[in-house]
Amino acid sequence: MKNIITSFLKISATLKRSNRVIDIVNTLASAKSVIIFMPDKLEHFGIALQFIKDIKNIFAKANLMFFTRKSYQNLLQANQQHGIIFVTSDDVNHLGLPKKKLQQKIVATKYDVAIDLNDDFHFLSTYLCQKSSASLKICLDNSDREPFYNFCFRTDVQKNLEEKYRRLMMFLGSC
């Protein structure tokens, strides 16, 4: 069933896709609100945690919101100066789609930038990123994700996830 929904969403995203040009550098430099979808896999989450300080430095003037599993809460620092949206199994219906309450948490804020740190296609993050108001939606390159994002960061396929994040942070920091 998830494959059918994913296929439908891909077709829908492709049809809705506008040819609007986005000034990536200016959007990143002037971002006031950024949502970061943390990786769903625990081992990837641990790697991504190492780059939160970089994200905070890159977007020092922006309000940051992190999206992650509630079960990873104990892995985060207690004194965070940014928002966190926790997701539990109660926030997702039997089809894997977010319930209205969770969707409202995303659409309630106008985000300038959305960054999905999942290395592969993660249905929930991809869906919510699509629903967000962000004009710039960034992900690590993956052919299954292209219809949903307007900037897929491509690195050498042989690189490990830590190196992919490092290069992404270098790119974001250079803007």
Q: What is the pLDDT of residues 28-67, one digit of tens each?
A: 999 999 999 999 999 999 999 999 999 999 999 999 999 9
- The pLDDT tens digits along the chain (175 residues) read 656 666 666 566 555 555 466 888 899 999 999 999 999 999 999 999 999 999 999 999 999 999 999 998 888 765 566 789 999 999 999 888 899 999 999 999 999 999 999 998 898 999 999 889 899 999 998 777 777 888 889 877 667 899 999 999 999 998 7
Q: What is the DSSP letter of 98?
A: B
**Which tokens hold the place of 106?**
């995303």
Burial (CB < 10 A; 0-12, 13-18, 19+), residue 68, is buried
Which residue from 129, 135, 82 is spatially nearest to 113, judged by alpha carbons?
135
CA distance 67 to 106: 9
Checking DSSP bridges between strand 151-153 and strand 136-140, what pairing results, if any?
Answer: parallel
CATH of 2-174, one of 3.40.640.10, 3.30.420.40, 3.40.50.2000, 3.40.50.2300: 3.40.50.2000
Mean pLDDT of the chain: 86
Q: What is the DSSP letter of 92?
A: B
Which residue from 98, 94, 72 is spatially nearest to 84, judged by alpha carbons?
72
- 140, 38 in Cβ contact below 8 A? no
Length of the chain as a residue count: 175
Residue 128: strand pairing partners: none
CA distance 49 to 147: 27
CA distance 66 to 85: 6
Domain ranges of the chain: 2-174
